[in-house]
Amino acid sequence: MPRLLVRPPSPQLADGEVTHLDRVPVDPALARRQWEGYVGVFRARGWEVSEVPSADEHPDGVFVEDGVVVFDDLAVFGRPGAASRRGELATLRPAVTGLGLEVAEIEAPGTLDGGDVLKIGRTVYVGRSSRTNDDGIAALRDLLSPRGWQVVTVPVTRVLHLKSAVTALPDGTVVGHPPEVDDPELFDRFLPVPEPEGNAVVVLDEGTVLMSASAPRSADLFRSRGLEVVTTPVTELEKLEGCVTCLSVRLR
């Protein structure tokens, strides 16, 4: 059974970090309802949901994917590029180490956010962004190369994280809104989408993806390719540069 790690949004969510967007009002109560709807999609599909302990003092703690990335039986804890987020790991570590996985950590001076890591087959695309630096990418490559993973560095200058710009469909096709993608030619197959919110999809199974309800034209594009598309509203999280990928860690 696939497992989902999630963390409820903090009441202080509106104070979260904003880098590429202008700050606008955020409704924490609506964000909580949207988060519950997001989690409900996975429950309805048979995923086992595990909640990471709340970290209400950390406004960005709901974006739990940034703290850890799992490769087969190896969990790699990142080192957040935003110093204000490094305290989030204290409650995330016990939740992950209790799963029986081998554990490694990115250490200073490296920084690595999970939102910059896109896995397609045995290739790991890692965004060189304002949150993930060259030392962090090199450390990840040292961990993964002996395990048969290829690590490819991707420039990210137009959005916060790599997966704010691109994600992948079940067949490995990379999708992204061209104005937000630095170099689409780095990917073997690239499909432009018509809306920025269409950049982010979560693969639920080989025929189904989850995405934001804010991108109906992108959803229609994916349906035209034979996919079932499940949508859920995440508007309050999108105001803080979040999306459907960063709200969970998926263990398949």
The catalytic residue positions are 161, 246
Taking the C-alpha atoms of residue 108 and residue 193, their distance in angstroms, rounded to an integer, is: 37
In this structure, what token pair is assigned to residue 150?
Answer: 């290829």
* 128 three-class SS: strand
Q: What is the C-alpha to C-alpha distance for residues 64 and 113, in angstroms, rounded to an integer?
A: 10
DSSP per-residue letters across 164-218: HHEEE-TTS-EEE-GGG-S-GGGSSSEEE-SSGGGG-EEEEETTEEEEETT-HHH
Sign of CA dihedral 64, 69, 74, 77: negative
The tokens for 66 are: 């940034």
Backbone angles phi, psi at 9, to 5 degrees: -65, 145
Question: Encoding tokens for residue 89?
Answer: 């790991």
Q: For 32, what's the count of Cα atoms within 13 Å in the CB-facing half-sphere?
A: 9
How far apart are the C-alpha atoms of 144 and 76, rounded to whole Å? 10
The Cα–Cα gap between 68 and 93 comes to 9
